[in-house]
A and B are shown apart, each in its own frame.
Chain A
Amino acid sequence: NAGVTQTPKFRILKIGQSMTLQCTQDMNHNYMYWYRQDPGMGLKLIYYSVGAGITDKGEVPNGYNVSRSTTEDFPLRLELAAPSQTSVYFCASDPGQSNTEAFFGQGTRLTVV
Chain B
Amino acid sequence: AQSVTQLDSHVSVSEGTPVLLRCNYSSSYSPSLFWYVQHPNKGLQLLLKYTSAATLVKGINGFEAEFKKSETSFHLTKPSAHMSDAAEYFCVVRGSSYKLIFGSGTRLLVRP
- Give me the interface of A with B, judged by CB distance under 8 Å: 31, 33, 35, 40-45, 48, 50, 56, 58, 90, 92, 94, 96, 98-102, 104-107
Q: Please report the C-alpha to C-alpha distance between residue A105 and residue B103 in the assembled complex, in whole angstroms.
A: 19
Q: Which of these, B43, B100, B102, contacts A105 with CB under 8 Å?
A: B43
A-B contact pairs, 16 of them (CB 8 A): A33-B100, A35-B100, A41-B104, A42-B90, A42-B103, A42-B105, A43-B44, A43-B100, A45-B101, A48-B99, A90-B43, A92-B100, A98-B32, A99-B51, A101-B49, A106-B42
Chain A residues lying within 8 Å of B51, measured Cβ to Cβ, are 98-100
- Give me the interface of B with A, judged by CB distance under 8 Å: 32, 34, 42-44, 46, 49, 51-53, 90, 97-105
Q: Which 8 A-B pairs have the closest CB atoms?
A: A42-B102, A106-B43, A99-B51, A43-B102, A94-B98, A104-B44, A42-B104, A31-B98
Chain A residues lying within 8 Å of B105, measured Cβ to Cβ, are 40-42
Total inter-chain residue pairs, C-beta < 8 Å: 49
Q: Please report the C-alpha to C-alpha distance between residue A105 and residue B45 in the assembled complex, in whole angstroms.
A: 10
Contact in complex: B102, A44 (CB < 8 Å): yes
Chain B residues lying within 8 Å of A43, measured Cβ to Cβ, are 44, 90, 100, 102
Residue of B nearest to A96 (CB): B98
Q: Please report the C-alpha to C-alpha distance between residue A94 and residue B98 in the assembled complex, in whole angstroms.
A: 7
Shortest B57–chain A CB gap in Å is: 12
Chain B residues lying within 8 Å of A48, measured Cβ to Cβ, are 97, 99
Q: Please report the C-alpha to C-alpha distance between residue A43 and residue B103 in the assembled complex, in whole angstroms.
A: 8
Chain B residues lying within 8 Å of A58, measured Cβ to Cβ, are 99
The verdict on A33 contacting B99 (CB below 8 Å), with A42-B104, A98-B51 known, is: yes
Residue of B nearest to A56 (CB): B97
Q: Please report the C-alpha to C-alpha distance between residue A58 and residue B96 in the assembled complex, in whole angstroms.
A: 11
Most buried by A among B42, B43, B53, B104: B43
Shortest A3–chain B CB gap in Å is: 11
Chain A residues lying within 8 Å of B52, measured Cβ to Cβ, are 98
